[in-house]
Structure 1
Amino acid sequence: MNCLNKKNLSVVVIFLFMVNYTFGQIKVSEFIQKSTIASPDNNKLFFVDFWATWCVPCITAKEHLKVLQSQFPNEFYVVSLSSENPLKVEKFLKNHPNNLTVAIDYNKETFDKYNVKVLPAGVLFNANGKVLWEGGAPDLKKEMVSRFLRQQTARTSLSSFFDVVSIEDETSNEYIPTEAMEFKPLVSGFEELSVVDNDNYLKVSGSLKSVLGYLAKIYKNQIVVAEGLDTNYEVYFKKPFNTNENLAFKLISELSLSVDRKFSEGEGMSFTIDTPKFWDTNQIDWGKNNAKYLIGDSQIQGDNVSLKDIAYQLANVLDMPIIIPDDSDMNLALHDWDFHYKFFQLMQIDLEDNYGIKVEKRTITYPVYHIEKKAP
């Protein structure tokens, strides 16, 4: 073989190595659905749309992306990527169908790799995996896609570009807490709440305010964290633990913080329950270690959750405090739920007819919890 051929062979080998190295760099756990309006083969551009079921602007963004996808069905491919439980996403898609490819990033590996902190967000790649553009999905315009397409020559397929790492593989190295409670500050990450609740542990991540709100089932604006204290945390509670234990107070104590309860007055809702007729736990069954809530544009569903849990979710969706009866046995018992929340009168009818809960919107007095550094 002459020197020229050897040189050409070396170039080919290096090129093939580079292609194999760059392809498959975007990791996903699984594909929930594939696009019905785009070809998965020979695309020049891939757009990863980072979203979540709780993110209302993400739903609007998807309408924009659906139009873009239909305008470039053979060279441009959109993948909507969520880090939530696959069952929760599947349930959401039944109520909010779309034509885009939807995938799961179960351990947030890709979310973290591209430093996604605010949703909706998106990253545009060429076929070699180079980042061409980052920003909110609505800011990606048709003219921009056309320009990027003219600049690119390489093409690849969906299966080559994405590396599917099964949830089983991802969770094989799952961390299991050894102490009753473990926590650590997070240097970066979502301020939005992230919850993993399985047979081994409860893991809650997010800002201190959101973590305490979830643990205590208190509406977010009823918690005021002193300046400089509301950093992000990852908190584990090893199971089994006493479900009646005040986990929020336990965390507050470990962080050497104090709580000062005050009262405020403003618009809110009150629940009155003279004759409860709550559902049992056999109406909805999403299986073990799956999502407990599904919050759509107008409906809230809950699988084996308490009145206190559902009032907490509703308060955050409606962005107002809710006062429920002071009855721990009734408030903590588990039930299934499915009711409308978007229009107040329909919610009133749903809750009273199906659960015996009378709802009134009025000026209420509600507690506000001030979190501060414990005095030395």
Structure 2
Amino acid sequence: MKFFNKKLLSFVVIVFLVLGYGNSQIKVSEFLQESKIASPDNNKLYFVDFWATWCVPCIAAKEHLKVLQSQFPDDFYVVSLSSENPIKVEKFLKKKPNDLAVAIDYNKETFGKYNVNVLPAGVLFNANGKVLWEGGAPDLKKEMVAKFLRQQTARTSLSSFFNIIRVEDETSNEYIPTKAMEVKPLASGFEELSVVDNDNYLKVSGSLKAVLGYLAKIYKNQIVIADGLDSNYAVYFKKPLNTNENIAFKLITELNLGVDRKFNEGEGISFTVDTPKFWDTNQIDWGKNNAKYLIGDAQIQGDNVSLKDIAYQLAYVLDMPVIVPDDSGMSLTLHDWDFHYKFFQLMQTDLEDNYGIRAEKKIISYPVYYIQKKAP
């Protein structure tokens, strides 16, 4: 049974699905796919699985949820919800097919509503929309689902449980900056990093720590924000960008903050490039204004991104600093990438054979940037 119209990649229409009870609503922009296991008719329980393509534990959680879904196909329905660009998620699903229903949280309202700041996470509802359980998705066990099913009598179909509301694509009224850099404070609370990079501007929004990490391509543990300063911002940079300008430092200066660099020692990965064999930019083409990265549970791909960009993404998936050669020309030029990262020896082989990068995991010295109020 079809209950939604799949939106084309042009994003002409944005769809919001609203949970139909009281004032408590779940909003998503679109369903990318229906469940290939469960029936959308007359379920007692609905489970929202919060995930992201970059979240390695989320992939294992999905395998667990797939098993649960297959054990209760007529009473229990899982919807995996990501707040990422739908094109990025669709490309990920082509690489890593998933039998669960998959949806997008366009405005991140659902992530914020349920205070999702650790992934994987999930919320279990009954047919009347009451929250029965919240927690890490892998912690939802078969016995728990069976117990909740025994306690419930009401049933509802997926098409009744969600109310589909169509609105115009917000990009038609999208704000375009007029200055080289514009900073807009956002509401307090958890704010996941969001990046919009198109022909007109670069927009980075989230906590100050997340925004600075992205702009400087620095791992999160290399940035320390003084108490009370890690507010949320949306920062716009008008295109074309000045490639010689340190835009992270420009933001720090705009906010009237100071930065103090120190060095720590700890486990990390060091890149050495004696004879680079970097790919050109013709190996991967995901089109204009699309996602630049595809991060699966074992593979990283990049379309027209620099060595510094790739090191930044790798640092997050491996949860440790990655230090690249101190050569701005080599580290900032754009290339295509496709390499394994889950098993270190395979990653070493991929990087050295395909790109001429020697990767070593060892105790390294790495910079840590302390952001604080400027001294009067």
* TM-score bin (small chain): 0.7 to 0.9
Residue identity in the other structure for 1:158: L
Q: Flag the structure with larger Rg.
A: 1
Count of residues in correspondence between the two structures: 357
SS in 2 for 1:250: helix
Provide the residue aligned with 1:189 in structure 2.
190
Provide the residue aligned with 2:70 in structure 1.
70
CA contact (8 A) 2:47 2:79 kept: yes
* Structure 2 runs not aligned, ≥5 long: 1-18
TM-score by length of 2: 0.85
Change (3 A) 1:154 1:185: same
Deviates more, 1:28-37 or 1:92-101: 92-101
CA contact (8 A) 2:20 2:163 kept: no
Q: CA deviation at 1:99?
A: 1.7
Residue identity in the other structure for 2:158: L
SS in 1 for 2:284: coil
Per-residue CA deviation, residues 115-174 of structure 1 (Å, 9 max, x unaligned), is 333322222223333333333223333343334334444333223323445685344444
Provide the residue aligned with 1:31 in structure 2.
31
Provide the residue aligned with 1:16 in structure 2.
none
Provide the residue aligned with 1:99 in structure 2.
99
Give me the CA root mean square deviation: 2.6
Q: Does 1:261 align with 2:249?
A: no
Runs of 4+ with deviation above 4 angstroms: 19-25, 164-168
TM-score by length of 1: 0.85
Q: Does 1:290 align with 2:320?
A: no
CA distance in 2, matches of 1:77, 1:105: 18
Deviates more, 1:53-62 or 1:214-223: 53-62
Residue identity in the other structure for 2:368: V
| Identical-residue share of aligned pairs (%) | 82
Provide the residue aligned with 2:224 in structure 1.
224
* Structure 1 runs not aligned, ≥5 long: 1-18
CA distance in 2, matches of 1:221, 1:240: 30
CA distance in 2, matches of 1:131, 1:173: 35
Change (3 A) 1:24 1:362: closer
SS in 2 for 1:261: strand
Residue identity in the other structure for 1:182: V
Q: CA deviation at 1:20?
A: 7.2
CA distance in 2, matches of 1:253, 1:265: 28
Provide the residue aligned with 1:364 in structure 2.
364
Change (3 A) 1:131 1:264: closer
Deviates more, 1:64-73 or 1:139-148: 139-148
Provide the residue aligned with 2:9 in structure 1.
none
Residue identity in the other structure for 2:98: N
Provide the residue aligned with 2:120 in structure 1.
120
Q: CA deviation at 1:43?
A: 1.6
Provide the residue aligned with 1:10 in structure 2.
none
CA contact (8 A) 2:55 2:317 kept: no
CA contact (8 A) 1:262 1:367 kept: yes
CA distance in 2, matches of 1:112, 1:26: 11
Provide the residue aligned with 2:316 in structure 1.
316
Change (3 A) 1:118 1:358: closer
Change (3 A) 1:134 1:367: closer
Q: CA deviation at 1:280?
A: 1.1
**1:5-84 correspondence runs (5 A):** 25-84=25-84
CA contact (8 A) 2:43 2:156 kept: yes
SS in 2 for 1:28: coil
Higher helix share: 1
Provide the residue aligned with 2:334 in structure 1.
334
CA distance in 1, matches of 2:369, 2:159: 50
